[in-house]
Structure 1
Amino acid sequence: MARNDALNWPDGAKMIGVLVAASILLQHGTWGQQVKVEGEVLSYPGQTVNLRCSFPDVTGVQLTMVSWLYEPKDGTRQNIAVLHPNHDPSYPDSPLKGRVSFTQNPPSLSSPSIQITGVQLTDEGKYICEYATYPGGNQQGITQLVMLAKPQNSATSVTVLAGAQPVVVARCTSANGRPPATIKWVTTADGNATMVSRAGSDNTVTVTSEYSLAPKSSDNGKDISCLVDHRTQAKTESIPLKLAVQYAPEVRIEGYDNNWYIGRTNAVLICQANGNPIPTSVTWKAVAGEMPDTVQITQNELRVLKVDESVNTTFVCEVKNGIGTSKELVAVFVREPSPDPSNAGVVAGAVIGSLLALLLVAALVAVLVTRSRRQQQGYRANGGSDMKTRIFGAGKKASKNGTGGGAGSGGIAGGNNNGPIYVYNESASHQGLGEKNNHHQPLTVGGRPEVGAVTPTAQDILLSSELDEAERRKFDEMDERYDHFPGGSSILQLRPHDQGDMIGDYLDDDMESQRDGSVISRTAVYV
């Protein structure tokens, strides 16, 4: 029944019970143990160690005897000290005889602590304080004596030859330590570590770790550190190293820019070489045989005082060290002389100046062409004639001013809109009829100037800079429509003329009879 109740305890109660039981076991070693001891004692070789033991509560218990036992790590238990109230302390034969004794004099059963002088590493192990009691029987407490030995830590790099097979490149040792040390490696090299331990005759341990890799020339000089952790050290001990990889020289030639032209001076080649051990000699050679006369050699430098055809060869740099010999070559191609920079500048300046001049000329031509087109636009006429005829009829304007006249007199009568003829010749030295009607004269009606009327001519209008292209196009379109206009209202018309007797032929062909008996001009301008 009690068992079932125990099984039904809440989980929290179960956990508390387990923790209490575990603490009792850790403190006393067994259920109901009343022996008080220290769980662990640390000591270095040569020191004196005190191992405490007591039985604080003797209520209802009769203490009859106390025994101290020693149990090595690899061995059996053996008595090292015995205390009986009716007898003197006894120290049986053991590895500790002569170095072990009770601390109190006379010793007491309630506090039978002991001390060990001149402890050795071999003294490490378990020490049991065991009471013989009545009626409880034997009860004991166990103390673990831990012997410490600070190790001697060291590390070295191993000089190796570059190769494809992994070899040991660094070794780290933590010697004669107790307990064993822990070793780690820190490096950028790509390798692996191994660790081995070896026990000493005095119960110490030596730990050795080796770092291995397939060494390359690029690994030479890389940093690698051995890190040692031990219980006797306040912090990790770091031992820095550098890898030592030996390799034959690695050679490269610098300075050739593929622009060695005839006449160039002080062209230089530098032979750079790395190696371990350091290269001992540098030799320049020419594949063609003898070195050109213009070449000077100073250690790893080859200088060409003046480039000529003899330098058109292959130069070889050969470097030696204790491991081997390596070489590098460069093929020199001699070019034609490069253009004179000053001439190039002159040519470039001339080209740029020519382009600018062409652009300026083009701009001037464009301006002149535009201005010429504006001046030459007007009514359409046949090409080749300088004559421009403007004939304006002033019928409407005359009628507004109250001025009239017969058809024969050139006035405006009824539906007859005949007006004066205005002729302007830009190139002729004299005008004929146009002399009386140049474009500077006012508009006339019936041969007389109209009162108060100063009318600009067609040329003034067409040659004016105020008339833009859009207005000119509208004017031309209106001219074409009026050429075919059938009505009898006011008309603006420009009629081309032929070469020859311009004035006479023009007037003879110009007049046209109308149905009402009047005669009007075909090229008259009716307003």
Structure 2
Amino acid sequence: MARDYASRCPVSPLRHTVLVAAVILLVAQGIRAQKVRVEEELEAYPTESVDLRCQFIDGGGRTKLTQVSWIWEPSDGIRDNIAVYHPHYGQSFPNSAFKDRVVFLHNSLENPSIRISNLKMSDAGRYTCEYATYPSGNEQGTTTLVMLAKPKNSAKVVTVQAGTKSVVVAQCEAADGKPAATIKWLASVGGNHSTSTTNGPDGTVTVRSEYRLVPTPTDDGREVTCRVEQRTQEQPWVYPVKLSVEYPPSVSIEGYDNNWYVGRSDAELLCMANANPAPTTVTWTAASGSLPDTVVVDGNKLTVRKVDDAVNTTFICEVKNKHGASRHQITTIVIEALEDPLSVGMVAGAVIGSLLALLLVVTLVGVLLTRSRRQQRRGYPSSGDSIATGSGGSNGGDYGNKARLLFSGGTGTSGGGKNGTAANNNGPMYTYREGCDATGTLTEKANDFHHHHLHLSSTGNPSSAHDILLSGEMGEAERRKFDLDDSMEEEEEEQYDRFGGGDMLPPAYHMRGGPSGEEELDAYLDDDMESQRDGSVISRTAIYV
């Protein structure tokens, strides 16, 4: 198919000639470009140095080098020689702007590289290494020098006054940089920014950015951040700016606790002001006129040495700065004197302690009375009761000194023929006597009781409590004293049963007697009896029922 297309559209001889000529020209240019070897582009910074390399390459060795020149072409397009080297005439530096800053690295036509020191931003441009040759003419190669400049970054706050218009509150600048820098703002205050650029005479660019907002007192102290990005910086430059918004004072009074009572000392009020700049003056006054004599003012603090009716007034605090003045007032109310909280606490503690002690005493008395009543009901002597024993002789009958009498108090006579302490006739009398019958066995004799007096039975022995209860000679009052509470008696019986009856009583409560007769019993009683302060004696172990 390609053959068909060639046969239908043959190439004309003229067109063929043009194509061949173009190819030859391109090859010739390529060969010529290869003769002078240079670097296409270099980057440098002000005050630094740069080496511009140049080398002539002659493949056939038939070209004769006559002279080499370095030509500088700035951005405005004006060409000028800055360095020339001739093998016979030496070096030449015709441009005064590069004098003493340009040197040849090698005294050779084949390698006429130069070094430019103490670079300036204005040195940027195209540098051409040009050879004068024979027979081909001039050969050249061009290097573009790009001058870079690190910007001088800065950011600052602009002090403003709170208002209703949008104003510049912060500025950020990247000066004398090349290429031009980019500035961004990071902020949460809700403003906006604008950016401008200025070109310097040496090719540098200065970029400025301004941040704007409608300032309020709450914006004072908040931060906005400037971020600068530029080619010469390895990482962005970041700088936070703290806003400064000035505003007149706002005032409040603190310290009043609604407890200014007569006699209170060192009551304080504090005048708190929020302002920028700081307040210049703080003034305390009273609505009633001059401050009371007991008031002392120290800056923003007002102290009442002693609270009295004179400070029952309205205090006013006024604060000023360069943007204005503001005031606040508070009315203090003086109340009646209160007791010292420490004293009140001590009194309350004493009262509570007394009540607790009283409750404890009442409880103890109740327990003692209950136990006393139980003992009385079971036949034990209560507190204050006494037991007297009569000493027997030949006239003492069978009981002798074994008799045991329980009295409520008072004086009387006991059996056995001798005087002793007897019970008060205001209460019942219990008599328990022990004796021996004809066989030497210990027996119990009962006494008769009638109308609170001690009676003897027909046998001469006092009647027992049981006999008295069974007799009809006791009055109603006396009978009530012998009544036993069923519930308490049942409880006592249950406690008795837990011990297994009389056999389970502790050994100290068993009567120690034996067949040895009255002498052993007498020895036991003598050891068992205990003398009391009122002269009576009671048994330590006997159980009275």
TM-score by length of 2: 0.52
Is it true that 1:309 corresponds to 2:309 in the alignment? yes
Aligned partner of 2:356 in structure 1 is 355
Secondary structure of 1:215's counterpart equals: coil
Give the direction of change, closer, same or farther, for the CA distance of 1:95–1:172 in structure 2 (3 Å limit). Answer: farther
C-alpha distance in 1 between matches for 2:126 and 2:248:
60
C-alpha distance in 1 between matches for 2:353 and 2:139:
115
Q: What code does the residue aligned with 1:469 have?
A: Q
- In the alignment, which of 20, 24, 37 is matched to residue 39 of structure 2? 37
How far off its partner does 1:273 sit?
2.5
Alignment of 1:383-462 (within 5 A): 429-430=454-455, 432=457
Q: Is the Cα contact below 8 Å between 1:129 and 1:142 reproduced in 2?
A: yes
How far off its partner does 1:43 sit?
4.1
C-alpha distance in 2 between matches for 1:239 and 1:119:
30
Aligned partner of 1:254 in structure 2 is 254
Q: What code does the residue aligned with 1:471 have?
A: D
Give the direction of change, closer, same or farther, for the CA distance of 1:355–1:233 in structure 2 (3 Å limit). Answer: same
Residue by residue over 1:337-379, the C-alpha shift from the partner in whole angstroms, topping out at 9 and shown as x without a partner, is 112443552343033212222133214413542564476479x
Unaligned runs of 5+ in 1: 1-28, 379-385, 389-421, 440-461, 476-527
Secondary structure of 2:122's counterpart equals: helix
How far off its partner does 1:107 sit?
5.1
Aligned partner of 2:178 in structure 1 is 178
Aligned partner of 1:485 in structure 2 is none
C-alpha distance in 2 between matches for 1:142 and 1:432:
162
Is it true that 1:52 corresponds to 2:53 in the alignment? yes
Give the direction of change, closer, same or farther, for the CA distance of 1:188–1:426 in structure 2 (3 Å limit). Answer: farther
Residue by residue over 1:395-431, the C-alpha shift from the partner in whole angstroms, topping out at 9 and shown as x without a partner, is xxxxxxxxxxxxxxxxxxxxxxxxxxx9978966457
How far off its partner does 1:53 sit?
2.0
C-alpha distance in 2 between matches for 1:256 and 1:133:
102
Q: Is the Cα contact below 8 Å between 2:169 and 2:211 reproduced in 1?
A: yes
Q: Is the Cα contact below 8 Å between 2:149 and 2:176 reproduced in 1?
A: yes
Aligned partner of 2:265 in structure 1 is 265
Residue by residue over 1:443-471, the C-alpha shift from the partner in whole angstroms, topping out at 9 and shown as x without a partner, is xxxxxxxxxxxxxxxxxxx99x9965372
Residue by residue over 1:85-136, the C-alpha shift from the partner in whole angstroms, topping out at 9 and shown as x without a partner, is 9999999x9998989988378752x4243455775423324546589999xx
Over the aligned positions, Cα root-mean-square deviation in angstroms equals: 5.8
Q: What code does the residue aligned with 2:495 have?
A: E
Aligned partner of 1:328 in structure 2 is 328
Give the direction of change, closer, same or farther, for the CA distance of 1:425–1:179 in structure 2 (3 Å limit). Answer: farther
Aligned partner of 1:284 in structure 2 is 284
C-alpha distance in 1 between matches for 2:429 and 2:102:
154
Give the direction of change, closer, same or farther, for the CA distance of 1:430–1:240 in structure 2 (3 Å limit). Answer: same
Give the direction of change, closer, same or farther, for the CA distance of 1:118–1:260 in structure 2 (3 Å limit). Answer: closer
Alignment of 1:486-497 (within 5 A): none
Is it true that 1:318 corresponds to 2:344 in the alignment? no
Unaligned runs of 5+ in 2: 1-29, 380-427, 431-443, 466-487, 502-545
Q: How many residues align?
A: 380
Q: What code does the residue aligned with 2:353 have?
A: I
Q: What code does the residue aligned with 1:37 have?
A: E
C-alpha distance in 1 between matches for 2:359 and 2:181:
91
Secondary structure of 1:246's counterpart equals: strand
Secondary structure of 1:40's counterpart equals: strand
C-alpha distance in 2 between matches for 1:472 and 1:116:
124
Q: Is the Cα contact below 8 Å between 1:63 and 1:132 reproduced in 2?
A: no
Secondary structure of 2:263's counterpart equals: coil
Q: What code does the residue aligned with 1:308 have?
A: D
Give the direction of change, closer, same or farther, for the CA distance of 1:63–1:253 in structure 2 (3 Å limit). Answer: farther
C-alpha distance in 2 between matches for 1:197 and 1:425:
136
Q: What code does the residue aligned with 2:355 have?
A: S
Give the direction of change, closer, same or farther, for the CA distance of 1:358–1:115 in structure 2 (3 Å limit). Answer: closer
Between stretches 349-358 and 335-344, larger displacement belongs to 335-344
How far off its partner does 1:330 sit?
1.4
Between stretches 263-272 and 247-256, larger displacement belongs to 263-272
How far off its partner does 1:158 sit?
1.3
C-alpha distance in 1 between matches for 2:299 and 2:105:
86
Q: What code does the residue aligned with 1:265 have?
A: S
Give the direction of change, closer, same or farther, for the CA distance of 1:79–1:303 in structure 2 (3 Å limit). Answer: closer
Secondary structure of 2:355's counterpart equals: helix
Give the direction of change, closer, same or farther, for the CA distance of 1:123–1:345 in structure 2 (3 Å limit). Answer: same
Q: Is the Cα contact below 8 Å between 1:153 and 1:172 reproduced in 2?
A: yes
C-alpha distance in 1 between matches for 2:148 and 2:238:
21
Residue by residue over 1:279-324, the C-alpha shift from the partner in whole angstroms, topping out at 9 and shown as x without a partner, is 2333333345565565454554434343333433322211122111
Residue by residue over 1:376-396, the C-alpha shift from the partner in whole angstroms, topping out at 9 and shown as x without a partner, is 479xxxxxxx999xxxxxxxx
How far off its partner does 1:51 sit?
0.8
C-alpha distance in 1 between matches for 2:343 and 2:98:
107
Secondary structure of 1:362's counterpart equals: helix
Secondary structure of 1:37's counterpart equals: coil
Secondary structure of 2:269's counterpart equals: strand
Residue by residue over 1:246-297, the C-alpha shift from the partner in whole angstroms, topping out at 9 and shown as x without a partner, is 1101222233222101232343323232422332333333345565565454
Give the direction of change, closer, same or farther, for the CA distance of 1:102–1:304 in structure 2 (3 Å limit). Answer: closer
Secondary structure of 1:111's counterpart equals: coil
Is it true that 1:103 corresponds to 2:104 in the alignment? yes
Aligned partner of 1:471 in structure 2 is 497
C-alpha distance in 2 between matches for 1:354 and 1:105:
117
Give the direction of change, closer, same or farther, for the CA distance of 1:223–1:97 in structure 2 (3 Å limit). Answer: closer
C-alpha distance in 2 between matches for 1:152 and 1:292:
62
How far off its partner does 1:84 sit?
12
Give the direction of change, closer, same or farther, for the CA distance of 1:363–1:70 in structure 2 (3 Å limit). Answer: farther
Aligned partner of 2:404 in structure 1 is none
Between stretches 338-347 and 198-207, larger displacement belongs to 338-347
C-alpha distance in 1 between matches for 2:200 and 2:144:
21
How far off its partner does 1:182 sit?
5.8
How far off its partner does 1:67 sit?
8.3
Residue by residue over 1:198-232, the C-alpha shift from the partner in whole angstroms, topping out at 9 and shown as x without a partner, is 21122111122334444343554567776767777
Q: Is the Cα contact below 8 Å between 1:43 and 1:145 reproduced in 2?
A: no
Is it true that 1:366 corresponds to 2:361 in the alignment? no
C-alpha distance in 2 between matches for 1:164 and 1:471:
100
Between stretches 121-130 and 262-271, larger displacement belongs to 121-130
Q: Is the Cα contact below 8 Å between 1:180 and 1:230 reproduced in 2?
A: yes
